[in-house]
Structure 1
Amino acid sequence: MKKSYIISVDLGGTKILSALIDNQNKIISRVKIETNKDEGGLGLVKSISSSILQLLNDNVVSENEVKAICLGVPGAVNPHIGLIEVAPNLGVENFNIKEELAKEISIPILVENDVNLAGLGIKKFELNDNVKNMLVIFIGTGIGSSLFFDGKIYRGSSYFAGEIGHIKVNAKGEISTNAKSLSFEQLASRTAIVKEIKKDLKKGKKSILKEFKSSKKTIKSKTLANAIKKNDPLAVKHVTNAAKIIGSVLGSITTLLNIDTIILGGGVIEAMHDFMLPIIEKNFNKTVIEACGRNVQIIETKLGDDAALFGGIALAEEFLS
């Protein structure tokens, strides 16, 4: 039987998005479910396999017709053996998700860092492989990135390349040598923005987000965007601060790596790009050395959640060809 499909799975901190993709690179069907982090790695495997089987059943496709499952994971991953070394947003470490998933499904399994997967999708399907040195950075629940040098993905000596969210920075977004400093992710992700807004709400600051003061519910990116449109003082203040930090960090990274393209994505950027991009660019230009920064393109990806799904196609080509 001809193998005509791949299945891409984007394993996120809050959701699992799976898609069936045909041999014309068209997404045929999608399944989105909540991420079950309560049962550790094996719980994740159970959820992933359930979403894959749902895709197959819904589309009357057999496992024999699928070339590969391409799984993106938010953490440091060895793509050659499928080992998740550490995935803080999933609460998993030293877990071979490829081996465990293979016990549930007989399709070949490929595993990659989620932003690496998104970067592969953006490079191939949005930039038509016409990029040399690129940083892809996704701002959402956390912050992750992928790196491309001379047109090829760079995974690093131990597959940790791109873990930009864990760089220590200060409140201005300057790289910090103080071990007690917070990380980039702790200062500029949606989680960080929401934490600061809730702190101010508890102090009695006025905001249209007051319903979240004592709620355990998080404030989603779309809710933040709506508050920005209404000029809510807390949303404006803390999203602005995050954007300034993002711009400064990207300026420092560009000075180090001399990249030519920065792609911004993730739920925060997708929801608030009109507000955030000018602030990011302004602080990028303040921080970067002029010779490194003058020709850098800072672009928002238009692929959104589909970036990682399309990245599965490029990953399958790399490892199965």
Structure 2
Amino acid sequence: MAQRTLTLFIVTALMLGTCTYLAWGKPSSVVGLFVVSGLAVGSLYSLGGIGLVVLFRATGVLNLSNGAIGALGVMLAWQLQQWNFPQIATWVIGIATTTLLALVYGRLIAPGLAWRDPVVKAVATLGFALIVLGITAFAWEDDVRKFALPSDKISYTLLGLRITLTRLIVILAAIAIVIAVWLYLSKTRTGLNMRALADNRDISALIGIPIVKTETIAWGISGLIAGFTGLMFGDLVRLEPFVITFMVIPAISAAICGQLRNLGVVLIAGLCIGVIESMLTLHPVLKSVRPMAPFVIAIIVLMWVQRGRTNYFAGN
């Protein structure tokens, strides 16, 4: 517990120090706009990381297909809106589709790889991501599109900054989902089963834990989070399948900062990655290295938690 608290403190201090350096000397109004924008996008990185952590803790699979699944879901929702479907129905169908895709992989493909190395499992999900992305690119040609939510038209003024309701929803949803997932994993029977599976799959099977049921629930939760994240990403950033697909990269960085275990660190890391990416735009020299930010942050955090150890991820 002390180690996790220290890691959370170090990650927070590192991110705040970096943001302070990037904001130094800039007008507060400009900095505020970039911070709010970064928090919204960072919340999506956190949500993506949480989905990865939930699934990894239950199945040992680092799912690299979450971004592609979310992209297909939001593209389907957009298409249904073009066909004049009710907006709420398009959101439900989009999220239901991502959940179904995750369950299809989790029930039809993942069991055959259950006893393989973690790297093999991860590469298999990457292959699934490319298949889903290929289907999405085939169905929708590359074009300029706009996916808008009704909450975009509602805004509030906070400390002199105009903040849309969509951004507030995303930030609050990230915090709420972290709390809900933590309570679910800590206080429910299924959550305890997921934690047991993560520790030792063989012993879990011997003591009667329903592995198929537990893993199915984990895949379903992962698909739900991927669907919601895809919808929000398509609204806040850009409705482009390739862009949304590769959203999984900073989400992985956030998950790694939390050692694929600590949900609090995943939340803080995702938020800070989003803010730092946004703030780098203000720097005349460093703005060109924005895509590197998630990896650099993850490497620094890993070097910290790895100190004095060898083969941290060996056997996991």
TM-score normalised by structure 1 residue count:
0.27
Question: Which structure features the higher share of strand residues?
Answer: 1
- Which structure's residues are more often helix, by fraction? 2
Q: Which has the higher contact order (CA 8 A, sep 6+)?
A: 2
